[in-house]
């Protein structure tokens, strides 16, 4: 079994009024893996991600990131953790009033005091890393295609050279070709930089193309976490409908072999 991860969640409890989202939820994310989180509507995928990021304080439980207790960390520890976390939110969350370059530069301006020339050079390097030329740097966000928006958002998430990358539905709204291109980019970047990736998605194609392991949220907890192939054989009715339906079976034909997942003993 996978031992306690570099991200460790124990006994997580999230409740909004009478709506109990998570109850005694446990999850570990291993260093250097791509862990994909799936679940039905209302299962709390994004709430879990926001809890780990520190954007939402859970009702109870413990969250450790590289040994730091997130819920008890002081302000300096939290700032240091934030600098190690890159985030790609749904739909990219770019600022329409800023250019591509200005969007990518934002985390640098918030966390570091670099000379303008050095900061711009680093931002242009990150744009090239995600497959965009420097020619798009002065473009407006409105002029970008959906796929380019996701790539710019990824460049911004990587600008501080994080150890952890969090992505919330990164292929949502993309056509199949654009989604496949983004999946391939994610795997390439993750392997090149050795990132630990926490991915929330409903895209069954992405699950089999990028995931080392998959965690299924159901019944307010993690129902199962394992390789995509093993999760797909779980007898739960929702899992069977999700993974063994026509799209799920087709997606399994294009799966990649995970390189970071640990095998059960």
For residue 245, what pLDDT is reported?
59
Q: Residues 55-102: pLDDT tens digits?
A: 899 999 999 999 999 989 898 998 889 899 999 988 778 998 999 999
Using the predicted structure, report yes or no on whether residue 2 has a pLDDT greater than 60.
no
pLDDT-based confidence at residue 253 (cuts at 50, 70, 90) = low
Q: What's the whole-number average pLDDT of the chain?
A: 88
Map out the domains of the chain as residue ranges. 91-161
Q: Residues 122-173: pLDDT tens digits?
A: 999 999 999 999 999 999 999 999 889 999 999 999 999 999 999 999 998 8
| Predicted TM-score (pTM) of this structure | 0.88
Using the predicted structure, report yes or no on whether residue 257 has a pLDDT greater than 70.
no
pLDDT-based confidence at residue 3 (cuts at 50, 70, 90) = low
Rounded percentage of the chain residues whose pLDDT exceeds 70: 91
| Separation of alpha carbons 148 and 130, rounded Å | 9
What is the mean pLDDT of the segment spanning 27-50? 94
For residue 254, what pLDDT is reported?
56
For residue 24, what pLDDT is reported?
94
């Amino acid at each position: 079994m996978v031992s306690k991860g570099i991200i460790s969640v124990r006994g997580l409890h999230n409740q909004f009024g009478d709506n109990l989202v998570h109850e005694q939820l446990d999850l570990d994310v291993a260093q250097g893996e791509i862990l994909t989180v799936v679940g039905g509507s209302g299962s709390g995928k994004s709430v879990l991600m926001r809890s780990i990021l520190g954007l939402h304080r859970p009702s109870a439980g413990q969250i450790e990131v590289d040994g730091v207790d997130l819920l008890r960390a002081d302000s300096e520890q939290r700032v240091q953790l934030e600098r190690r976390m890159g985030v790609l939110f749904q739909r990219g969350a770019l600022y329409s009033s800023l250019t591509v370059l200005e969007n990518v530069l934002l985390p640098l301006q918030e966390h570091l005091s670099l000379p303008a020339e050095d900061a711009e050079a680093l931002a242009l390097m990150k744009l090239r890393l995600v497959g965009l030329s420097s020619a798009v740097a002065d473009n407006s966000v409105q002029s970008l295609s959906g796929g380019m928006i996701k790539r710019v958002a990824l460049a911004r998430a990587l600008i501080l050279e994080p150890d952890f990358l969090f992505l919330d539905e990164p292929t949502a709204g993309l056509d199949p070709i654009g989604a496949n291109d983004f999946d391939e980019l994610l795997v390439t970047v993750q392997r090149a930089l050795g990132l630990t990736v926490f991915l929330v998605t409903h895209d069954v194609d992405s699950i089999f193309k990028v995931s080392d392991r998959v965690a299924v949220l159901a019944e307010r907890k993690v129902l199962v976490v394992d390789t995509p192939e093993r999760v797909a054989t779980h007898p739960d009715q929702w899992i069977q409908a999700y993974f063994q339906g026509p799209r799920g079976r087709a997606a399994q034909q294009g799966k990649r072999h995970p390189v970071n997942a640990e095998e059960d003993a």
